[in-house]
Amino acid sequence: MEPQVKIGAIYVKNTFLHFAPENETPAVGRSASCPPGMAKEFNTYNTYNTSCCGGPWTQSTLATAPNELIDDDADSADEVATCYSDLSDHHPFPVDAISANRQSFPATEVSDGKCAGQSCDVRGSRENQREALSLSFQKKVNKELSNTAQKGGSRILEVVERHLAVMNCLNLATAFHRLARHTENPQEVTSSSTFLRMIDLAHDFARQELESRNQTMPEKCCTIIAWSCANLDAFPGPLFSLLAQLVVCNVQSCESYELTNMLWAFAKLYKLRPELAPQVQWETQQLVNAVAWIFQHRGVQDLKTQVLSSALVSVATLPGRSRSSSWLFSACGQELAERWDEVTVQSRPQISFAFKLMRGHNLQLVRNVERALAEKRPEMVSFMTEAMRGKRRNRR
């Protein structure tokens, strides 16, 4: 669990704050919106085309700021979702929306300027007040969502229903995440009109972000929403498509476990709703390409065991035999072999199952990896062999 971090006079913990605005970036076409191209991303397993959005990759477009946990009871790196935060002059919703909810804010009056020389100061004062109101409202909504979360999904939806018209992407991502963590009956939640409106709003935010690059839907929120929807067994194909495009375009600003959360969400879509696969086939491959590039760039040896296990199972679940998926499976599998003593008892059967799944996609790859593992960690290969034999005996 990350400690709370103090920014100025505000303690950042379990509350979304503003994202730092960036310079306008022209919208680009679908073909240029991802890092490595479909089939050309690898000339070898270790060579990537490192271009994104029409130019070289750079560090995150988000201002450097502390990580911020939005869930204080999640211990697993595969479950917890984070978001970078920063105080800025970004307005998350229209001023008229603030006016419509005036009762939520303290009364504030600003007198008009008396001369042209004062007009700039007056406008600046108004903007500062609007910013303060905006930030105050965001924090108020998130606090209400957090306080209500333990009471279940229906109560969370009641909070969302009251504020949805003026919620920004950070509030929306928090609402999705709370529903995913505290809902006992997902079907009851996902069939509600409020949840469907949340999906529509997320789609609108994502589309606006793709068109204007104005931080309407930062990639951090994309990973949270995709993971949350998958936990609720909700798979809106068009939304998943947009979320993946945004994450791929800004993949370097994502934490490694956020990327595996995204991979896991898509793997679950393919497993539970295979009829939706054609809607996200292109985006899925680009996501795999991007994750492989990032893992190689950062070094799999520096990733947590949970992250490696999640990536291994997810890429084995997804169809296809691209070089990026092959590299990702091989690299994660061999690194897990190096740390086999660290792999938990609960995770070992999942790793074994991942090898079984990959056999159906790429048998030769699995044989090559197992041959390498037999030299490094014969006990790992023995465990997987026994696990497979046990399942065969159970089927009999």
Q: What is the pLDDT of residues 171-181, one digit of tens each?
A: 999 999 999 99
pLDDT score, position 81: 31
Report residue 27 as tokens: 């919208």
Task: Determine the Cα–Cα distance for residues 280 and 51; give it in Å rounded to an integer.
Answer: 21
Q: How many domains does the chain have?
A: 1
Q: Is residue 318 part of a domain?
A: no
Average pLDDT, integer, range 152-158: 96
Task: Determine the Cα–Cα distance for residues 355 and 391; give it in Å rounded to an integer.
Answer: 14
Q: Is residue 364 part of a domain?
A: no
Can you tell me whether residue 104 is helix, strand or coil? Answer: helix
Q: Is residue 390 part of a domain?
A: no
Q: What is the pLDDT of residues 15-25, one digit of tens each?
A: 333 333 334 33
Is pLDDT above 60 for 88?
no
Q: Is residue 27 part of a domain?
A: yes
Q: Is residue 290 part of a domain?
A: yes
Q: Is residue 335 part of a domain?
A: no
- Within the chain, strands assigned E span 5-7, 10-12, 51-52, 55-56, 67-69, 82-84
Question: For residue 287, what pLDDT band results from cuts at 50, 70 and 90?
Answer: very high
Least confident of 33-37, 88-92, 321-325: 88-92
- Domain carrying residue 88: 5-105+121-302
pLDDT score, position 321: 84
pLDDT score, position 75: 35
What pTM value is reported for the model?
Answer: 0.69
| Cα diameter, the chain | 89
The size of the chain, in residues, is 396
Q: Is residue 100 part of a domain?
A: yes
Q: Is residue 375 part of a domain?
A: no
Burial class (CB in 10 A: 0-12, 13-18, 19+), 332: buried
Q: What is the pLDDT of residues 133-151, one digit of tens each?
A: 677 888 999 999 999 999 9
Task: Determine the Cα–Cα distance for residues 159 and 195; give it in Å rounded to an integer.
Answer: 12
Is pLDDT above 90 for 275?
yes
pLDDT score, position 67: 30
Q: What is the pLDDT of residues 375-384, one digit of tens each?
A: 889 999 999 9
Question: For residue 390, what pLDDT band results from cuts at 50, 70 and 90?
Answer: low
